[in-house]
Amino acid sequence: MVWAPGKPGREVFSGQATLGSMDSLRMIENWPVPTAAAGVVLADGTVAGRHGPTGQRFPLASVTKPLAAYGALVAVEEGAVELDEPAGPEGSTVRHLLAHTSGLAFDEHRTMAAPGTRRLYSNAGFEVLGDHIAKASGIPFAEYVRQAVFEPLGMADTELTGSPAKDSVSTVDDLLRFAAELQAPRLLARQTLDAAATVAFPGVNGVLPGFGHQKPNDWGLGFEIRGRKSPHWTGETSSPRTFGHFGQSGTFLWVDPEAGAACVALTDRAFGEWAAKTWPTFTDAVLADLRTTSA
């Protein structure tokens, strides 16, 4: 049977009002990158500010993972798969794959640990996840995500072109729509999103790519969770509940539930020392700007 994503009567995201500009977003003009764009969206869907070519498409690298994870969570709610059904290496489940605890290696379909014992960040795990959902649904995973996530949110400039771990392209404008969904879900039940943004397999240690070994290395279902990690790519004033992802193509998306806002930044320079230095300062400035605006 072919599983068709989409619930009857599901709301279609219709767009966002724009509040205005935020001075903090202008900091991207000083980043050592050829091109950068950024935006902030509030929990009620209002865009607090945009800066740069927010309609330009950028490769997302690992910011693809939250998009793929959201498609997987829709598949769970639709009944195509279950979080605790076997998937991947022996003893692993869909939940393990989403939380990077399946034991699969980073970029190889090779098992390096027992499921649930280590946080091994794994592109291979997301590729196994995509294949598993495609087989269960009868729909190629890229098409499943398009129908289940991109289309209902109006993300017309977003596309998954290959691996569900790293091969999507999108714009700041589209990702602001997704970031609004991550704060006020329409495509998922609130409790499903809350569970995805809560630590899965607490206390598991591992390496956060680009920032070293973290004890613990908190992760939800497809979303990295800030917790008490140090160093980190978000700000010193980011709440521990902050969740999101960054990509090696110089991209990030974070949601800070305590701030009631989310931020997206896309660039065309690979992640490196420049990003590790500028992103936390930028995030702190955005959060300070939000506090001033709401005061």
pLDDT of residue 9: 31
Tokens of 91: 């003893």
Tell me the pTM.
Answer: 0.94
Positive or negative torsion for Cα 64, 65, 70, 73? positive
Measure the CA–CA gap between 32 and 276, rounded to whole angstroms.
Answer: 12
Measure the CA–CA gap between 289 and 273, rounded to whole angstroms.
Answer: 25
Residue 220 DSSP class: -
pLDDT of residue 207: 94
pLDDT of residue 7: 40
Vertex 65 angle, CA 111 and 264, to 5°: 145
Q: What is the pLDDT along the chain (295 residues), one digit of tens a residue?
A: 233 344 433 333 444 445 556 999 999 999 999 999 999 999 999 999 999 999 999 999 999 999 999 999 999 999 999 999 999 999 999 999 999 999 999 999 999 999 999 999 999 999 999 999 999 999 999 999 999 999 999 999 999 999 999 999 999 999 999 999 999 999 999 999 999 999 999 999 999 999 999 999 999 999 999 999 999 999 999 999 999 999 999 999 999 999 999 999 999 999 999 999 999 999 999 999 999 877 6
CATH code assigned to 23-294: 3.40.710.10
Positive or negative torsion for Cα 148, 122, 166, 33? positive
**CA-based max dimension of the chain:** 54
